[in-house]
């Protein structure tokens, strides 16, 4: 790994500025940079260290364009639904959501120009899924995939690349499978459009404070 090609930012700075960047420039991402992003993904933990994920770096223009058509159709459906849910919501929330939807519309309209889309795939047959018998939706399998995705996002942050974790293409998995020749039983977990930011790129994020997210010893207690 070539350590000298970029200025490494602090880990905490990277995490607290890793916001969704949906407006990307079409300029290509150098292969060495992409290699480092994927190497960061490869460092993620997985159940039993099996690494039941793979990433397809989609750069061929026709493939990205087709992914863009599929994505835009799903995005339109999602954003209409999302706006409808905001009827009567406080003005500040409406304004914030509208900003997010504007950026989302930009991504949908320009998806075809994205220099690289990382499509993360997983193999459910070789994953440790310890909650599979529970009578609720199973999530543990995802823990052998999404840490790798997050590592890739953090590496993009370090490289000055904009990116956003997207999952809307999972709604049209059969089409994506055929397009990218993904064999059964591999399936899709996320698509991450990557490119240099058009505007400021990463920056401040808005999240609930720890006091609202963490407890002390028992559920519902105040974390101190
Ligand atoms: C599981 C998951 C799925 C997501 N899917 C999409 C998506 O399909 N399209 C999109 O534009 N953003 C998607 N996002 C990005 C979120 O909308 C974003 O992280 C969230 O709104 C917080 O935005 P911020 O990081 O800019 O503060 C997804 C994020 C997660 C974690």
| Tens digit of each residue's pLDDT (9 = 90 or more) over 44-89 | 999 999 999 999 999 999 999 999 999 999 999 999 988 888 888 8
CB 95 within 8 A of CB 86: no
- Tell me what the mean pLDDT of segment 16-43 comes to: 98
Q: Tell me if 169 sits within 8 A of 195, measured CB to CB.
A: no
Global pTM value: 0.95
Find out whether 119 and 187 touch, Cβ atoms under 8 Å. no
Structure tokens, 69? 């058509």
The pLDDT of residue 86 is 83
Distance (Å, rounded) from C-alpha 64 to C-alpha 54? 18
Is the confidence at residue 5, as pLDDT, over 60? no
Residue 219: its pLDDT value, please? Answer: 97
Examine the pLDDT at 183 and tell me if it is beyond 70.
Answer: yes
* Of 3-17, 43-57, 134-148, 192-206, minimum mean pLDDT range: 3-17
Instruction: Report the candidate in 184, 167, 183 with the shortest Cα–Cα distance to residue 118.
Output: 167
67, 164, 191: residue to mutate for ligand 1 pocket, most atoms within 8 A of CB:
164
Instruction: Please say whether the beta carbons of 24 and 197 come within 8 A.
Output: yes
Q: How far is the CA of 28 from the centre of ligand 1 (A)?
A: 23
% of the chain beyond a pLDDT of 70? 97
pLDDT of residue 6: 58
Nearest atom in ligand 1 to the alpha carbon of residue 18 is: 25
* Percent with pLDDT over 90 in the chain: 87
Q: Residue 1 — very low, low, confident or very high, per pLDDT cuts 50/70/90?
A: very low
pLDDT at 7: 65
CA of 165 to the centre of ligand 1 (A): 6
Sheet holding 162-163, edge to edge: 53-58, 116-122, 187-195, 162-163
- Nearest CA owner, ligand 1 atom 24: 19
Over residues 164-193, mean pLDDT: 98
Per the CB < 8 A criterion, the answer to whether 46 and 129 are in contact is no
């Amino acid at each position: 790994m070539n350590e000298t090609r970029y200025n490494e930012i602090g880990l905490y700075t990277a995490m607290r500025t890793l916001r969704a960047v949906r407006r990307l420039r079409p300029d290509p991402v150098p292969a060495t940079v992409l290699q480092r992003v994927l190497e960061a993904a490869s460092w993620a933990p997985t159940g039993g260290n099996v690494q039941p994920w793979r990433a397809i770096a989609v750069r061929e223009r026709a493939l990205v364009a087709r992914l863009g058509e599929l994505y835009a159709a799903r995005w339109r459906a999602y954003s209409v639904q999302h706006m409808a849910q905001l009827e009567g919501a406080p003005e500040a929330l409406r304004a914030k959501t509208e900003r997010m939807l504007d950026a989302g519309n930009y991504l949908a309209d320009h998806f075809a120009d994205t220099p690289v889309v990382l499509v993360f795939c997983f193999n459910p047959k070789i994953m440790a899924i310890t909650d599979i018998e529970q009578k609720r939706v199973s999530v543990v399998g995802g823990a052998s995939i999404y840490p790798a995705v997050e590592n890739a996002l953090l590496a993009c942050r370090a490289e000055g690349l904009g990116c956003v974790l997207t999952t809307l293409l999972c709604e049209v998995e059969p089409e994506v499978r055929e397009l990218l020749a993904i064999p059964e039983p591999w399936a899709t977990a996320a698509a991450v459009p990557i490119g240099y930011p058009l505007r400021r790129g990463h920056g401040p994020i808005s999240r609930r404070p720890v006091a609202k997210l963490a407890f002390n010893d028992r559920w519902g207690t105040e974390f101190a």
